Structure 1
């Protein structure tokens, strides 16, 4: 028998769900508290900074989950391109299954944040850097130079996030699939060139 998630985790989960569906400013605190089954006082016990601090925790948790899923794909697949394809297909399936309603919580916060949202932007910047680093490390292990691995990792994360945004607003996976396949074709070509040279 599994134990139910603790209040802190329920609050973070409710915030992630709200960010995916309503965005940062559309996510009402009352609805988040109701979804988490938590009174306001308990939320401020865990997150004294209120909604903004909870959003930072949601960003950190989302990045952690994305990295875990990416690591699992990298362990499962023989090539980095195949692992990335599998990792990205999971996001595509989630978006399609939601009827193109569920966006990326990272993109939602990034688009709505302002220069005054220092902690939020720092969490996002650190999170995107972690994803890029994870991908770059895998590409280096596959034979790419450090500089090439870093530039490809930045391109992959940009295509992933930008593709999700375009697919969501179009209610069509084609923009994301086209962008991702173009990037992954580069990886396949480079891998084959290294093997034949």
Structure 2
């Protein structure tokens, strides 16, 4: 159990570092210190070093998002209101951190290069899962599959880009304005509302 705890602390330390500093902004000694892990433990649990630990952190974030989505869409049956609540919760977190903690996925994505094959693969999988989950909810509102996919992609792009601008500006306004514009567009976009496309299993 102790070994597992050390590994988990290292992953959480990397998640925290990605939010605040990015992959290249944090050193191994700082990661070990924040994880309260002994020297040598990083390579014991992650032979691939920072890259392997970063991939593990991305996968951890992906799992947390999956859990969050299930809870979010269960608590708020209207997908659009749920998506608005997601933006609001992220803004609250960003403002609470005094605009220090952004999205760790965007931070490491901006830093990555074509040589970071494992990192980019993990990021691509996570972003794809996000788009698929949102498109499924939007399709349930009556949007055709193509429109649902497009709006899901647009939402993720807005979310990530808006957070980056908000951090730089030290204000949530860039994300708020972009979000309001997108939701106005979605609300007025033609869709089939004759019946609810979501199944009981989708809403469970």
After TM superposition, the score normalised by the length of structure 2 is 0.89
Structure 2 runs not aligned, ≥5 long = 196-204
**Counterparts of 2:8 and 2:192, CA distance in 1:** 45
Q: Which residue of 1 aligns with 2:143?
A: 144
- Asked if 2 retains the 8 angstrom alpha-carbon contact of 1:70 and 1:87, the reply is no
Say yes or no: does 1:176 pair with 2:178.
no
Match for residue 102 of structure 2? 103
| Deviation by residue 1:124-149 (Cα, 9 ceiling, x = unmatched) | 11110010011011111222111111
SS in 2 for 1:23: coil
Residues 183-194 of structure 1: matches in 2 within 5 Å? 183-190=182-189, 194=192
Structure 2 partner of 1:44: 43
Match of 1:131 in 2: 130
- Would you say the 8 A contact 1:70–1:84 is kept in 2? no
Match of 1:157?
Answer: 156
- Which runs of 5 or more structure 1 residues have no equivalent in the other structure? none
**How far has the Cα of 1:70 moved from its partner?**
2.1
Point out the structure with the larger helix share: 1
Shift of 1:196: 7.6
CA deviations over 1:30-85 (Å, ceiling 9, x no partner): 11111111123222122110101101111111122122212211111131110001
1:56-75 matches, within 5 Å, as 56-75=55-74
TM-score, scaled to structure 1: 0.92
Name the residue aligned to 2:53. 54
| Aligned equivalent of 2:201 | none
Aligned equivalents of 2:70, 2:175: Cα separation in 1: 22
Change (3 A) 1:190 1:75: farther
Instruction: Kindly indicate whether residue 16 of structure 2 is the aligned counterpart of residue 17 of structure 1.
Output: yes
Alignment-derived partner of residue 29 in structure 2: 30
Shift of 1:90: 1.1
Supply the distance in 1 between the matched residues of 2:44 and 2:52 (Cα, whole angstroms).
12
